[in-house]
């Protein structure tokens, strides 16, 4: 079995936590499932805060595709990184965070369900997009949230959140090198998009 390496900086690279809502974990709407091993599902790229959904086998994959007919994938937000030791075995590169080995150990990834009535604070958003309070958010192909643009509710994009606080630099995110990442806060919602 490969050695698992962790660094202090890896604790700060990705962030997702409940800012407001029921802070008792036992009362939160959290769903757990194994990760998909299909390369097309990009499950190995899931980090804390990534938008995830279930594939047809009931396993997590990166992103939340549009629905059709009577099947609409539910958007969720990962509470862990795919490469965390209790989710996968293997080694994680100290500088890149790249997964070097991805054999599953029976671990299950927990995720906040988008209909859970949370205000989430996350580092996983598209920094190039413009955000104001009340901006609707959709899931980007990378698993990050991004501004939905001119998309309307119940349109052709899946809306997963509404911005509550515009991007800010969090003092809590500073790591041992004095670096930090920006955070975005939003209320979770789920308006499925139709393909």
The pLDDT value recorded for residue 192 is 86
Residue 186 in any domain: the answer is yes
Residue 127 in any domain: the answer is yes
Name the one residue in this structure whose structure tokens are 């070097």. Answer: 100
The pLDDT value recorded for residue 44 is 83
The pLDDT value recorded for residue 101 is 41
Return the number of other C-beta atoms located less than 10 Å from residue 183's C-beta.
23
Return the number of other C-beta atoms located less than 10 Å from residue 69's C-beta.
7
The pLDDT value recorded for residue 95 is 42
Residue 101 in any domain: the answer is yes
Q: What is the pLDDT along the chain (195 residues), one digit of tens a residue?
A: 344 555 555 555 776 677 776 656 555 688 888 888 888 888 888 888 899 999 999 999 999 988 888 888 999 999 888 877 767 644 444 444 444 444 444 568 889 999 888 888 888 888 888 888 999 999 888 889 999 887 667 778 889 999 998 776 655 544 444 445 688 889 999 888 877
- The structural domain count of the chain equals 1
Partners of 16 in beta bridges: 122
The pLDDT value recorded for residue 170 is 53
Residue 156 in any domain: the answer is yes
Residue 106 in any domain: the answer is yes
Residue 3 in any domain: the answer is no
Full 3-state SS string of 77-101: EECCCCCCCCCECCCECCCCCCECC
Q: Is 97 left (phi over 0), alpha (psi -120 to 50) or beta?
A: left
Q: What tokens were used for 47?
A: 């980090």
Distances in Å between the Cα of 58 and the Cα atoms of 50, 54, 89, 152 are 17, 5, 21, 29
Q: Which domain holds residue 42?
A: 10-191
Residue 5 in any domain: the answer is no
Residue 94 in any domain: the answer is yes
The pLDDT value recorded for residue 22 is 64
Distance (Å, whole) CA 103 – CA 81:
14
């Amino acid at each position: 079995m490969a050695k698992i390496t962790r660094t202090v900086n890896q604790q700060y690279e990705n962030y997702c936590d409940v800012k407001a809502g029921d802070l008792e974990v036992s009362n939160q709407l959290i769903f757990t499932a194994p990760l998909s091993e299909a390369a097309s599902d990009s499950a190995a790229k899931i980090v804390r805060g990534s938008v995830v959904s279930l594939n047809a086998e009931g396993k997590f994959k990166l992103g939340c595709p549009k629905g059709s007919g009577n099947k609409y994938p539910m958007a969720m937000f990962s509470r862990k990184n795919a490469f965390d030791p209790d989710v996968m075995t293997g080694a994680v590169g100290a500088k890149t965070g790249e997964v070097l080995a991805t054999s599953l150990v029976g671990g299950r990834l927990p995720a906040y369900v988008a209909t859970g009535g949370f205000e989430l604070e996350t580092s996983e958003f598209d920094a190039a997009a413009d955000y104001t309070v009340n901006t609707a958010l959709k899931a980007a192909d990378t698993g990050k949230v991004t501004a939905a643009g001119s998309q309307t509710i119940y349109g052709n994009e899946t809306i997963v959140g509404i911005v509550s606080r515009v991007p800010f630099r969090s003092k809590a995110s500073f790591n041992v090198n004095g670096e930090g990442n920006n955070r975005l806060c939003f209320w979770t919602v789920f308006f499925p998009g139709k393909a």
